[in-house]
Amino acid sequence: MAYSGQYAVNPLGEVSFRALCTQLPAVLRRIAGMAWRTDRRAVLLLLACQLATGLSAAVLLAATARAMHPLLGDAPVGQRLREALPALVVVAAAGGVTRLSAALAEYAERRITPRLTTATDTALVEAVCRVEAAAYAVDGFSDRQEAAEMGVTRTHFMVMDSQRFLSALIRMVTAGGVLSVLNPVMLPLLLLAVAPAGIGAVLAARVDYEIHYANVADRNVRGMTRWWATTPKYGDEVRANGMTDYLLYWYRALSDREDRRTLAAAPRTLRIALLSSLAGGAFLTLTWGVLAWLAVTGRIAPALAATAVVAVQTTLAALSQVVVNGAAVFHTSLYLGDMQAFFDDAAARAPKRGAREVRTPVEEIRLEEVAYRYPGKDRDAVAGVSLTLRRGEILAVVGVNGSGKSTLTRLITGVYLAGKGRVTWNGTDLAEADPASVWSNTGLVPQIFAQWPLRARENVTLGQPRGHDDGEVWEAVDAVGMREAVEELPAGLDTLLAREIFGGAELSGGQWQRLACSRALYRRPALLILDEPTSQMDPRGEHGIFERIKAISADRITIVVTHRLENTRIADHIVLMEHGRITESGTYDTLVHAGGTFADLLRLSQER
Ligand SMILES: Nc1ncnc2c1ncn2[C@@H]1O[C@H](COP(=O)(O)OP(=O)(O)OP(=O)(O)O)[C@@H](O)[C@H]1O
C-alpha cells in the first residue's frame, strides 16, 4: 500500500496566506451571526459583561490613582487611610464588578457554545447527507470533509476565545487610556513589548495550520483504518486472515508519519518562540527602565509612579491576553474557513434538479441513450443504454462483474443523474423531478446493504411505520420467511439487532439479507430493485423470495440483478450487459437458444 494522500488540498498551497487572512472577517461574522441566532439573550449578556469589565477596569485604575495621593502623602497614618477610604471602596467595588461580569460572561458563553457546536455539527452532517451521491466519488471530497470536521471541533473554542479576546481588548483600551494620561510614552513602549509575542503567536498558528493540512489525508485514512481494525463487524475476517498485524502496522505507520511532520515543525516553533520572547523581553525591560528613570529623576510624582506601576501591569496583562486570544481566534478562524469552504462546496454539489412531482402510479420508466461516467474515470460505466420498463413487468439484468449493472440501477432510481441521455418516469425527466417524489416510490435492496443497529421492527420499517399495529411488519417478515427467526429473538420485533450493544442480538448473514428484502417489500414501492438479493440465502429462502417477487409484481416495475441465471426465469425480459452496454436482450427461452454470452454463462453455471 503506497498511500500518498495526494488528493488532500492544502489551501495554503492554492492561495496566499494573506488571501486566507482576508477571509477571516467573513468567517467571524458568520460565527457571530450563528451565535446570535443560537441565543440572543446570551450574546447580549456577553456584550454587556464585556462593557462592564472595561468600565470597571478604568474606574479601578482611576480610583487607585486617587487613593495613592493620600496614601503616599505626609499626613498621619489614620488621616491618610481616612482620606483614601472612599477611593479604596471604589477600588473594591470595581474589583467586584470585574469578577461578577467575568462570571456572568462565562455563564453566557456556556449557554452559547454547546448549541453553536451542535448547530455546526448538524449542519455538516446534513450537508454531507444532502449532496448528490455522485459527489462521494469526487477525489478529495472525503479529505475536505475531514478538514471541515476540525472546524466543527474548533467551534467549541470560538466563543470562548472571542469572548476573552474582546474582554482583554476592552481592558487594554481602558487601562491603556489611563496609562497614556499618566505619561504618553508608556503606552507605545508597552505595545512594543507585546507586539513580538503577537507576531510570534500568529506565525506559530500558521505553522500549526500547515502541519494540520499536511496531515489531513493521513488522519482521514488513519481514522478509517482504526474503524476497520476495531469494528466487531469485520472481527472474524481480520483475525482468521491474520490481518491484525498488517492493520496495526499501517495504523502505526500513518500515526508515525503524522508525528514526523509535527516533530519536524518543532524547531520552527521554538525559533519563533525564542525570538519573540527575546524581543518582547528587551522592550519590556526598556519600559520598566523608562518608568524608573521618570520616577528617580522626579519627572513624575511618587504617587503617579505607583499608579503607573499598577497601570503598566494591568495594561501588560490585558495586552498579553489580547495577543494570546487574538492569535487563538485567528488560528480557529483558519479551520472555520475550511468548514465554510466545505459548506460552500457541498451547497454547490446539492441536487439542483427541479421540483416536478412524478405522477403516480408509475406506469412507465424509459431510458434514452443513457450514459454515465464516474469522476476521474476514462470510460463510461454505462454507455448508451435505451430501455423501457412497464408496470407489471419483471426485468432481469445480468452480466459479468463491472459491466455496469449496479450503476444502471442507480440511474434508473435517480440516485445518479445520467451524464448523457435521459431517464423519464411517466414522461418526467429525473433531472427535473424532485428527488423526494421519486424516492417515495422506490424500494432498493442494494448489493451491500446496511445492517442497521436498530430494533428488528425498525429494520423493516426504517423508522417509518405505516399502521398502528405490527400487522404489516409481520406481513413483510413472512414474505421473506423470517417469522420463526424473529419470534425466537429474545424480544421478538423489539430485539435490538446490534451485538455490540448490551441486550443486542445478532442475525446470520442470510437472515440479514432476508430482512433487507423485507424492508424493500414493506415499502410496497412502484419500483422494486433487488441487486443480488439472495446471494447469502439458502435455496429454500431464495426460492421463496423469487416466488414472492413474482406474486406481487403486477402492481409495480421490478428489476432483479443477479448472477444466478436460473433465477431469471421469472423475468418477462432479460438484458445482458457488457462494458456498460446492453448486448443481448429477450426472454429466458430466446436467450438460451440464441447461443450468445447468456447461453454461455448459463452453461458454465450448470457445468460446475
Ligand atoms: N462509486 C464508484 N466510483 C467510481 N467507479 C465506480 C463506482 N462504482 C462502480 N464503479 C465502476 O463502474 C464500473 C461498473 O460498476 P458496477 O458496480 O455498475 O458493475 P456491476 O455490473 O454492478 O458489477 P458487479 O457484478 O461486480 O456488481 C466498474 O468499472 C467500476 O469500477
Among 296, 315, 348, residue at a domain's last position: 348
Residues 461, 432: one domain?
A: no
pTM of the model: 0.76
d(CA 310, CA 316): 10
Indicate if ligand 1 lies below 6 Å from the C-beta of 447.
Answer: yes
In a domain, 598, yes or no: yes
- Report CA(577)–ligand 1 centroid distance (Å): 12
d(CA 320, CA 32): 24
- Nearest CA residue ID for atom 2, ligand 1: 137
- Report CA(442)–ligand 1 centroid distance (Å): 21
Q: Which helix (H) or strand (E) holds 184?
A: none
* Percent of the chain surpassing pLDDT 70: 95
Residues 249, 143: one domain?
A: yes
- Nearest CA residue ID for atom 24, ligand 1: 401
Would you say residue 7 has pLDDT above 60?
A: no
Residue-by-residue DSSP string for 283-344: HHHHHHHHHHHHHHTTSS-HHHHHHHHHHHHHHHHHHHHHHHHHHHHHHHHHHHHHHHHHHH
The residue with greater pLDDT, 190 or 247, is 247
Indicate if ligand 1 lies below 6 Å from the C-beta of 409.
Answer: no
Residues 490, 568: one domain?
A: no
Q: Count of domains in the chain?
A: 3
- Report CA(382)–ligand 1 centroid distance (Å): 9
Residues 175, 320: one domain?
A: yes
- Nearest CA residue ID for atom 7, ligand 1: 374
Residues 469, 341: one domain?
A: no
Instruction: Residue 277: name the closest of 310, 211, 209, 323 by CA.
Output: 323
The atom number, within ligand 1, closest to the CA of 563 reads 25
pLDDT of residue 11: 47
- Report CA(455)–ligand 1 centroid distance (Å): 32
In a domain, 513, yes or no: no
The residue with greater pLDDT, 323 or 572, is 572
Residues 553-572: tens digit of each pLDDT: 999 999 999 988 988 999 99
Indicate if ligand 1 lies below 6 Å from the C-beta of 401.
Answer: yes
**Sheet containing strand 527-531, strands side by side:** 442-445, 527-531, 557-561, 394-399, 573-578, 581-586
Residues 374, 474: one domain?
A: no
Give the confidence band of 32 by pLDDT, cuts at 50, 70, 90.
confident
Using alpha carbons only, give the angle 198, 105, 33 rounded to the nearest 5 degrees: 75
Residue among 379, 382, 407 to mutate when testing ligand 1 (max atoms within 8 A of CB): 407
Residues 219-230: tens digit of each pLDDT: 888 999 999 999
For the ranges 96-110, 163-177, 403-417, 475-489, which has the lowest average pLDDT?
Answer: 163-177
- Nearest CA residue ID for atom 4, ligand 1: 374
Indicate if ligand 1 lies below 6 Å from the C-beta of 399.
Answer: yes
Residues 195-239: tens digit of each pLDDT: 887 788 778 878 888 888 888 888 888 999 999 999 888 888 899
Decide: helix, strand or coil at residue 469.
Answer: coil
CATH number of the domain within which 537 lies: 3.40.50.300
Burial class (CB in 10 A: 0-12, 13-18, 19+), 28: middle
Would you say residue 408 has pLDDT above 80?
A: yes
Instruction: Residue 497: name the closest of 462, 460, 455 by CA.
Output: 455
Residues 496, 413: one domain?
A: no
Among 293, 316, 348, residue at a domain's last position: 348
Q: Is the CB of residue 160 less than 8 Å from the CB of residue 109? A: yes
Among 299, 318, 348, residue at a domain's last position: 348
* Residue span of the structural domain in which 311 resides: 26-348
- Nearest CA residue ID for atom 30, ligand 1: 402
In a domain, 480, yes or no: yes
For the ranges 288-302, 353-367, 585-599, which has the lowest average pLDDT?
Answer: 288-302
Q: Is the CB of residue 411 less than 8 Å from the CB of residue 418? A: yes
Would you say residue 4 has pLDDT above 60?
A: no
In a domain, 274, yes or no: yes
In a domain, 542, yes or no: yes
